[in-house]
Each structure stands twice: as structure tokens, then as C-alpha cells.
Structure 1
């Protein structure tokens, strides 16, 4: 909501649309200038200030020429209209002093504006109401959640709904045999695929494996296909609507033995039907975000913290929250049980102990240890 992007391709689409609806010559000239300016943008961690000022001024001129000059809106193509809406949203973001933004480019001809801290804007929005009720199963750490919402925890009331039945609903284990870091994960592809197969053999229903990226999941899927007796595997498709997501998931739960999902995606965070249908899951790595220029800019704003504490706040804590959300959806009511295997040695580090605050995990160090653990399921 507080970030946006546009591109040279969109600028050309807008210019074509303005031409089709016979917009005034000056309007089309400004739109053409906007495209030429975007054409000069190359991948960069931060847009130079002089170029940013030029972009902001030209964007303002473009919107004024488009919105306040005579225009046949009925003849303007829908895609050009949506691009205008996005540009108007971008200008609104840039004019909001409560939203510190990073202007950068990932590829040629593309312009991105990423919000670095939305807490002040969220806080101002909440102040407009006489009272606000914020509910979630993953609000912790509470101090950081309140800060991100622009709230003072001292002046807020906290109501915690106890669910004692959940404390005995999980069986957790940490697999220390593998390291899923980007540079090392391919060395363990066979072990990961074999672990998925063996976990599937021990479960009566479908097994879910969560991955930090599509590339990782696709690599394991290809490895599984090379196994002689591989189980039926469904890989989460990209870009599905909510209706298609539910359709895919329903089909997968009925037909697949293994379901490969992407951590942090809508399947992991937004679908509640796994509870009661899936009792075994593999969390492949802590799903840390890539420390790109946006994350580094966010960490740089935390001047009161050292680099390790800033990294934990910006990268690790959101990853832990995503995992808790995915795991939490496997147990939705009393009587449901779930066995979760955390498949990476990093889960044994102190940084991730928040994942195991209610259930003490078992530790698996060898292939023999894995075999013994599976026999107890």
C-alpha cells in the first residue's frame, strides 16, 4: 500500500492510450518526456537526488496535464487508466512526509519507490478512530508490533486469549544435517528430497514442505522426479487468484502425497483449510529475506542498534512470524495434531528460539537419528 513502481513499458502504454483518445498535444509531449526519462534509468541501489527531483517534477506535470486538461476519458484504454491511477498513487506517497521512501531501480527503465517505515502513517490513521482493535495470532514481540503501528504499548490494553490445548498439539524436531543457506543448499538437495519422501511415507495424509523461494522448491521438485519411487508431488503455481488457490489446494490435498509451498505466500499465510487435513510439515530453512538495498536502507535507519540487532529486527523477526503463521494454520481447533520438522541447522541458533517457546524440539544429527525419529511418528 505504501510502495509503488512504474516502468518504461507502462510509460509507452500510457502514451499510446493518450494518443488513441486524442489527448492535447502538450499532454502527449509531457507523457513522451516521462518515457524518455525512465529510459535513462539503469539498475541502481538508490536514484541520485538530482534525478529524483527531476522525476518528481515531471510526474507532477504529467498528472496535471492529464487530469486537468480536456480529455476523452471514455476513449482512454483501461490499461492506460490504471497506469494513471498508479502514478497518482505514487505522487500521493511522495508528498506524504510521514513516509520515508527509497527510490531505486531493479532493472533498466524501471522505477521503484519502497517505503522504509510506515509506522507514523499507520499511527496517524489509527488516531482518526475513537478506538481500534488489532487482532492476530502472531503479534509478538509486542513492543515491536506496537512500534510498527505507531502505538505506545504503555497506553494500550492487551487481551490475550489462552489456548492451552495448543501446547500439546505439536511435535517439533530440528534437522541439523543440512544447511539451507543460498550458497550451500544445492549440496543438500538429495538429503532434502529424501527427507520429504521419508516423512511422506510416515504420514497417512498429505505432507507439506515450505520453501523460501520458487527456485528452491523447483530444484527439490526436479530432484524428487529423479527418484525411482517418488511420491505424487504438487508444486504451488504462481500468480493464482484466491478462487484458483482454493481449487488447487483442494485438488492437491485429495491427489498429492507431497505439497510444495512457498513460505510467506498466500498459501502459507492466508488459507485455513490445512488444519485437520495436513498433520506433517517440513520447514526448509528460516526463509530469511534477501538483504537487498531496501532491507539495508531500513537497517541503516536503526541508528540506535548495532548491525546484528538491526538485521534481526528487519530480517529475522519477519521470517519467524511467517513461519509461525504457516505452522499455526495446521492446528485450528482442539484435537488436531501436527508434526513439524525444521530442516536446517540454523534453527538451533538462539535467534530462532521464539519458534519453540511452547514446545521443546528434538534434535536430529545423523541419518540414523532421522530414521529413529521417523519410527516414533
Structure 2
């Protein structure tokens, strides 16, 4: 084969490769990159009083990124800025936009309401429309609190439609799609001392848009809260608490599963204490693990059960709630973190075709 012919074959081969490469938002096998596994909603607190109060805004480990961001909107992906995440990129001429918000309600693009048909003409699944797929680019700066030098920094998006990339200080962190579910990224290694830059690029349509055929408004953007969460290197990453009724609905059984993570490069010895408080914030039950060793950069799952007598049932009419507080303790018997959540004891069952809540029949009325 002579050189000109070989060059033509090489050109055709490379062109085929380029055509075969799918963009993330067009690839059904790509729903996230570098995302943290999902977990129960939680924010660390420094002491028991804060945990019982449960106000995340008052936690020293919570930093909201809601507010004013710089914003650029284009009608299709080919027009989007490609290097806006770089530190030297000037966004001073961009407009301001509130986060959270849907950009259609801020004057960019059109809200769309449909039921069973797709919100764009001539659908070609799984490829989102390339000439009608608005892209919003966001940027802002933030400074970490002084006491966040140790531990891990988690970036949390409560909801973004429909797909988005994220960069910190000019470096790509990851990708997510899933409009109604949170997305988290561990950004510890991307951060700089002092001021930091966060950039996000949001696509209105993705391959997921083809399976969103319900009757609802199609809106776009960072439409739910954004915040940073600071967690210790040994952390209660996830928990699952199931509160049921026993003994003819008079007593309670709390089943608790916790996932502990050690982000550090050395083994750690810890204890986990779980305390249940009644609505008057009186402690009525305690579970404590034996000392556990967590290997470096690994996790461990712990299971517990707690029986409680004379429980106050939860129901829609009388929603009695208890407070569960999880306390991680190090080998020096010092608290590492507190996590809290509300739990309600109830029983839901079907007997002879009738749904019962706490042993009493209910009727469910629904509307479309």
C-alpha cells in the first residue's frame, strides 16, 4: 500500500472513531462520573445540643453556595463556552443569576409543558437534539471557613436539570445526570488556600429526557440548593433507621444500619453510640458498639436493634416523632461527630385486602 492510500485509510478510520464517540449527555451508559455513592440526608454537628436541634444552617460544617452566580446561556451545545472554567477566563460581562432557580423563569429559554409526547420535535433516542439543547454555564467563587483545614469537603447539589459537568479551580471534577436526585463530589484534593472557583455547565436535554414522559413542566438549571459539607476523616457516611411497632402496636423496635468510612491513610479505632430521644428530648434508649477498627481508606457496616416500651405511635393525624442521634467516638473517648434524624414508629400492613396503619384501616383517596 502506497503512502497516499494509507493516509486516506487512516483519515477515514480516525473519522469513524470521532463519529463513534458519544458525548456524555448522549450516552445511556453514562449517568455519572466521580460521584459519591448516595446516602441518607445528613449534616455533622459538633455536640449533642446542636444535633438535637437539627438545624443544618447552624452547623459549623455546612456552607451554602446559594446566591448570585455568573451565568451564560446559549441555545445549543456547539455555542457553549469551552474554557470558562479556567482560572484566567473573564466572566465579568456575564449576567447574574440566582441559584437555586430555573433559568426559564429568569428569562432564558421557554418553559415547556407536555404529557405523553416528547418536549422536542423529531426525537432520535438516545441522542438529545443538537440544534435545540440550551446550555447554561455557571461560575462563582467561595472561601472555606478557617476550621475546615482537616477532613473531607463534599460538594452537594440537591437537584440539577438535566445533566451537568462540574469543575473546581479549573480542574474537571465529574459529571452527573438524574434531575430529581442529589449529586455529591469529594472536592478535597481540588481546593486551594483562600479563594476558590466553582464552575458548572448544565444541559437542558440528555438521553435521560427520553424516559421523562410524564405530565409536568420541563424547566432547567440548578434549581435546588447547593452547599459544601465538611466531614471528619472518620465519618458516618450513611445510616438507615427503620422504626416499627411490636406487641400489638404498643412497643417499638428500631432497626439501625450504619456505614462508617475512614478516608485517612492510617487505621482508626472508634466506637459508635446511638441514642433515642423522645419528643421532650429525654433519652429513652441507647445502643453502643464495641470498639471497631477501620482500615485505611475503607468502610465498615454496623447493625443494631433497640427495643422501646410504651411507644407513642406516628400517624398522619398525630405525627409523634423521636430524635435519633448517632455519635462517633475515637479511641480517646472524644466525640468525632454527631448526626441526627427524626424517626416515627408506625406499622403499615395489608390484611384481607385492607391497608392498616398502626392496626387501623385507612382509605386512600387520590386524584390525577
Q: TM-score range by the shorter chain?
A: under 0.3
TM-score after normalising by structure 1: 0.21
TM superposition score normalised by structure 2: 0.21
Higher helix share: 1
